[in-house]
């Protein structure tokens, strides 16, 4: 976990005062409240693995156990105080450090993290992007363009964290609030002026981004996903809508490519600018009302042309490192958000794109070509929704003169209801399809494959439908079924370098697996 090198020094007594007596705050483990004046905090964390001396350790109730059970380990690693609830205080009673008891520590965590790391005061310009698909691509494109504009920038996505050009691999899509505020504070020390943040719906509803106010909030689309966390699509949308209120954002740029965009506009109590991509818009009439329009006049693998037009006759045409109109839509959103944030003028953006020949960026695990030399082209892609499968497959199909083989898996311990639709989308957009494993996590991998296969078998591709495990064998079989001019589109691993099985992350290199399979086949 990245942290500032010189964090503020906060007194425990001030933390107790910040929580407030009206919240039923209690202070345990000290002779009298005045003892808290002598305790100095320099960090805050939920995880003992990230704990550093001087931290306050926050113990919250988890799915499997209460975090307070790790209090003794936290103190051994240097924790100087504990924040938890009544149940946690009883568990951690013998920890030997002050225990601050609050009714709902999860709900107060983000505010405490912002205060501990000094983010309750000056902040960089914050760009937050939410939606079902396209979040990662949008923030990576924003970060690339900000760097081209000469603006020191930071970025946090499901794939990576960037700090003014330095790259760190990511964990959660949106970091836990303690990690997020430590990261922002670290970026501030590095002189970062603007930060692009991917914001998951789970982060919104689980308080991970509480207290963060975005200068511009962006909305990509709403597609079928996360029905393991929400009762229905209305509840899922409601979680997203929270981001477009004045306590969370100052302005917004909203895509009207899906009908949910209209709901976002209607719900927002902040200034909103709209954008649409008619080539993919679900409702053409709604898209026609957008203030900005994105078009893809020419498509190429990771080098498509984009035309962006907006109010007052503004127009630009440039090259963006993406494939397909759905990805060009993300590039348009990225540009307009930077414009709305006041980070650059329209003329400055146009000039930089003309100078550099387009946005210069790499989107990890998004139609990422991993092959070299002769033979079929192999792409890795992180798509994990039916719509993501369909849009990306159609884009690759348009660039493939021969057979398109789609190999795909799905995350375990995640939304099970979308798996048949993912299988159907893969099968009906391919010539050959192979169901395989991805992250089974705590599920039986065979059950996950069965869910995908049940959808794929409804429209089996003409070249065959296979169910193969493990993925090491699946890629070998895939290579044996294709040749020169053909393509293998491997959905699932994307940018990732591990497989998670029964809570353990196993090193995993799908790029090398594909190259080895091609080499062994004589390519």
What's the CATH code of the domain at 152?
3.40.1190.10
107 lies in the same domain as 132: no
Instruction: Please tell me the distance from the alpha carbon of residue 430 to that of residue 406, in angstroms, as a whole number.
Output: 6
- How many residues are present in the chain? 523
94 in any annotated domain: yes
Average pLDDT for 483-503: 86
Q: Is the C-alpha dihedral spanning 162, 42, 119, 6 positive or negative?
A: negative
Count Cβ atoms within 10 A of the Cβ of residue 227 and give its class: 0-12 exposed, 13-18 middle, 19 or more buried: middle
Look at residues 115, 148, 180 and tell me which one is the last residue of a structural domain.
115
Share of the chain above pLDDT 70, in %: 95
Say what the pLDDT of residue 328 is: 97
Residue 363 lies in a domain: no
Q: Which of 315-329, 359-373, 486-500 has the highest mean pLDDT?
A: 315-329
Predicted confidence at residue 11, as pLDDT, reads: 92
**Residue 390 and residue 302 in one domain:** no
Give the pLDDT band (50/70/90) at residue 481. Answer: very high
In this prediction, residue 35 carries a pLDDT of 59
DSSP 46-89: S-GGG--TTEEEEE-B-SSSBGGGGHHHHHHTT--EEEE-HHHH
The yes-or-no verdict on residue 225 having pLDDT over 80 is no
pLDDT per residue as tens digits for the range 60-85:
998 889 999 999 999 999 999 999 99
For residues 285 and 357, give the distance between their C-alpha atoms in angstroms, rounded to a whole number: 33
As a whole number, the mean pLDDT across the chain is: 91
Q: Cα–Cα distance between 273 and 255 in angstroms, integer?
A: 9
Residue 33 has pLDDT above 60, yes or no: no
% of the chain with per-residue pLDDT over 90: 75
Same-domain check for residues 99 and 160: no
Q: Is the pLDDT of residue 462 over 60?
A: yes
> Are both 166 and 295 inside the same structural domain?
yes
* Ramachandran bin of 102, using left for φ above 0, alpha for ψ from -120 to 50, beta for the remaining angles: beta
On whether residue 2 sits in a domain, the answer given is no
Q: Report the CATH number at residue 420.
A: 3.90.190.20
Same domain, 78 and 156: no
Q: What is the pLDDT of residues 95-116, one digit of tens each?
A: 989 999 998 999 899 999 999 9
What per-residue confidence (pLDDT) applies to 31?
A: 44
Residue 276 CA to residue 389 CA, distance in Å, equals 21
Instruction: Name the nearest CA neighbour of 438 among 488, 381, 379.
Output: 381
Residue 1 lies in a domain: no
For the stretch 153-201, pLDDT in tens is: 999 998 788 898 787 765 655 678 999 999 999 999 999 999 999 999 9
Strand partners, 57: 45, 82
* pLDDT tens digit sequence for 294-351: 999 999 999 999 999 999 999 999 999 999 999 999 999 999 999 999 999 999 999 9
Hey, what's the torsion of the CAs at 143, 144, 148, 153, to 10 degrees? 20
Last residue of a domain, one of 356, 378, 395: 356
CATH of the domain at 48: 3.40.1390.10
Whether 361 is in a domain gets the answer no
Mean pLDDT across the stretch 42-67?
93
Rounded mean pLDDT of 267-292? Answer: 97
Q: Are 230 and 288 in the same domain?
A: yes
Is pLDDT above 90 for 21?
A: no
23-39: average pLDDT:
61
The answer to whether residues 330 and 389 belong to one domain is no
Choose the final residue of a domain: 290, 323, 356. 356
The answer as to whether 441 is a domain residue is yes
pLDDT of residue 194: 98
Q: Is residue 262 included in any domain, yes or no?
A: yes
Answer whether residue 356 shows pLDDT above 90.
yes
The answer on 185 and 149 residing in a single domain is yes
Identify the band that residue 366 occupies on the pLDDT scale cut at 50, 70 and 90: confident
Residue 281 lies in a domain: yes
The answer to whether residues 196 and 47 belong to one domain is no
Same domain? For 168 and 284 the reply is yes
Same domain, 303 and 386: no
pLDDT at residue 276 is higher than 70: yes
Specify whether 292 is located in the same domain as 229: yes
Residue 32: what pLDDT?
46
**Domain assignment of residue 426, given as a range:** 368-520
Question: What confidence score (pLDDT) does residue 171 get?
Answer: 60
Q: How many domains does the chain have?
A: 3
410-439 confidence digits (pLDDT tens): 988 888 999 999 999 999 999 999 999 988
**Nearest 10 degrees: Cα torsion 66, 68, 70, 73:** 180
């Amino acid at each position: 976990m990245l942290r500032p090198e010189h964090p503020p020094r906060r007194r425990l007594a001030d933390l107790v005062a910040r929580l407030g007596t009206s919240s039923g705050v209690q202070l345990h483990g000290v002779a009298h409240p005045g003892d808290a004046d002598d305790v100095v905090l320099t960090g805050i964390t939920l995880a003992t693995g990230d704990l550093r001396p001087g931290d306050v350790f926050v113990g919250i109730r988890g799915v499997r156990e209460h975090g307070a059970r790790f209090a003794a380990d936290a103190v051994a690693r240097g924790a100087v105080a504990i924040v938890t609830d009544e149940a946690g205080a009883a568990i951690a009673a013998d920890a030997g450090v002050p225990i601050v008891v609050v009714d709902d520590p999860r709900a107060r965590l983000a505010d405490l993290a912002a205060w501990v790391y000094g983010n309750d005061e000056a902040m960089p310009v914050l760009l937050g992007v939410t939606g079902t698909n396209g979040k990662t691509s949008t923030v990576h494109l924003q970060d690339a363009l900000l760097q081209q504009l000469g603006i020191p920038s930071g970025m946090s996505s499901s794939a990576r964290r960037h700090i003014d050009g330095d790259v760190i691999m990511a964990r959660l899509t949106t970091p836990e609030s303690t990690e997020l505020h430590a990261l922002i504070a670290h970026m501030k020390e590095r002189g970062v002026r603007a930060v692009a943040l991917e914001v998951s719906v789970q982060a919104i509803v689980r308080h991970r981004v509480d207290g963060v106010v975005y200068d511009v909030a962006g909305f990509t689309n709403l597609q079928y996903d996360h029905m393991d966390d929400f009762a229905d699509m209305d509840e899922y949308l409601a979680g997203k809508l929270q981001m477009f209120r004045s306590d969370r954002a100052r302005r917004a740029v909203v895509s009207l490519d899906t009908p949910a965009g209209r709901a976002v506009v209607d719900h927002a109590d902040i200034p909103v600018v709209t954008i649409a991509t008619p080539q993919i818009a679900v409702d053409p009439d709604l898209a026609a009302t957008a203030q900005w329009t994105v078009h893809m006049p020419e498509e190429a693998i990771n080098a498509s042309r984009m035309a962006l037009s907006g109010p007052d006759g503004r127009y630009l045409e440039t090259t963006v490192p993406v494939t397909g109109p759905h990805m060009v839509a993300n590039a348009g959103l990225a540009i307009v958000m930077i414009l709305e944030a006041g980070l650059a003028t329209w003329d400055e953006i146009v000039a930089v794109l003309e100078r550099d020949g387009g946005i210069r960026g790499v989107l990890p695990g998004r139609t990422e070509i991993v092959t070299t030399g002769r033979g079929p082209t192999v792409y890795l892609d992180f798509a994990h929704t039916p719509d993501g499968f369909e849009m990306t497959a159609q884009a690759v199909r348009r660039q493939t003169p021969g057979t398109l083989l789609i190999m795909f898996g799905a995350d375990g311990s995640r939304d099970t209801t979308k798996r048949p639709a993912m299988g159907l989308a893969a099968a009906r957009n391919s010539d050959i399809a192979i169901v395989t494993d991805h992250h089974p996590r705590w599920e039986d991998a065979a059950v996950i494959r069965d869910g995908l296969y049940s959808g794929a078998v409804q429209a089996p591709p003409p070249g065959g439908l296979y169910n193969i495990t493990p993925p090491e064998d699946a890629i070998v079989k895939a290579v044996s079924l294709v040749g020169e001019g053909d393509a293998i589109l491997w959905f699932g691993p994307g940018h990732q370098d591990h497989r998670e099985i029964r809570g353990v992350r196993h090193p995993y290199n799908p790029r090398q697996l594909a190259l080895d399979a091609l080499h062994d086949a004589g390519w």
